Amino acid sequence: MEQTALRPKPMPGQEPGGGRKPGPARRPHAARRRGRRLTTLLFGLFVAAVLVLSGVGLGTVGATVVGMSRLAELRRQALPHLGGPSAPAHPGTTPSSTAPTTAPSPVPVVATLGLEAVDAEKAGALVVGVHVPGPGYTAGLVRGDVLLTFGRTRIDTAGDLARAVARARAGREVVLTVRHRSGGYQQLTAVPGVVT
C-alpha cells in the first residue's frame, strides 16, 4: 500500500507532463491592469487639481465677500447721519422742495491708535495687536502691554480706551501710561492718526 499523505504534491503549473511548456507563466490580464493603474493615477491627479483650484477659488470669493462686508460696515459707521440716497437732506422737507446740494457734508474725522485691545485681567486694556506702521507702533507699544491711562483719562477696560481714542483729536500728542509685560511702568507719547 502506498502512502500518499507523505508525498509532496507538485506546485500548480509545474506538474510533470501537464501538457504545458516549461518557462515563465503567461499573465494575459497584466496589460489591462497596467492600463487601469495609469487611468486611476491620472484620474486621481485630475480630482486633486480640481479640489485645490476650487479651494483657492472659494477662499478668494470668501475673502472678497468678507472684505466687502467690512467696507460696507465702515461706510455705514462713517456716514450714520445719512439715511440713504432717497432720504431728504433736512427732516420735514420733501426731496422736490430742497435745492440740490453740490458739496457733500464733511465726514467727521475719527482718531485711531492703530492697535487692538481687550480687557485686561486687572484694570486696563491689554494690547493684543499693533498695526505696523501706525501711531501705537511709532509710540513704542508692543503686544502684551497694558494701557492704564490715555491722556488724563483712566483706562479700566478696552471700551474705555476706545471711547478715549474716539474723543481725542487726530494729530495732537497724548501721553499714555503703560504697564509692560515684565511689570515695569512707562509713559509714552503717541499721536493718534486718521484712518483713510
Least confident piece of the model among 58-62, 65-69, 92-96: 92-96
Phi and psi at 97, nearest 5°, equal -90, -10
- Helix H or strand E segment including 92: none
Please provide residue 8's backbone torsions phi and psi, each rounded to the nearest 5 degrees: -70, 140
Phi and psi of 108, rounded to 5°?
Answer: -65, 140
| Cell numbers linked to 184 | 515695569
Higher pLDDT, 55 or 64: 55
Out of 31-35, 90-94, 154-158, least confident range: 90-94
pLDDT score of 168 more than 70: yes
pLDDT of residue 149: 93
Report field, pTM of the whole predicted structure over 0.75 = no
CA distance 188 to 196: 25
Reported confidence tier of residue 75, pLDDT bands at 50, 70, 90: low
List, in order, residues 6 or more apart from 114 with CB less than 8 Å away.
Answer: 130, 131, 133, 134, 135, 136, 137, 193
Length of the chain: 196
The pLDDT confidence band at residue 171, using thresholds 50, 70 and 90, is confident
| Least confident segment among 28-37, 103-112, 134-143, 159-168 | 28-37
Q: Which has the higher per-residue pLDDT, 7 or 144?
A: 144
For the stretch 3-52, pLDDT in tens is 656 667 777 777 665 555 555 566 655 555 666 888 888 999 999 988 88
Whether 89 and 171 have beta carbons less than 8 Å apart is answered as no
Residue 175: the pLDDT is 93
pLDDT over 60 (residue 176):
yes
Is residue 67 very low, low, confident or very high in pLDDT (cuts 50, 70, 90)? low
188 pairs with which residues across the strands?
176
Q: What is the pLDDT of residue 24?
A: 59
Q: pLDDT class for 189, splitting at 50, 70, 90? A: very high
Contacts (Cβ under 8 Å, ≥6 apart) of 107: 78, 79
pLDDT digits (tens, 9 = 90+) for 110-119: 788 888 899 8
**Residue 74: its H or E element:** helix 30-78
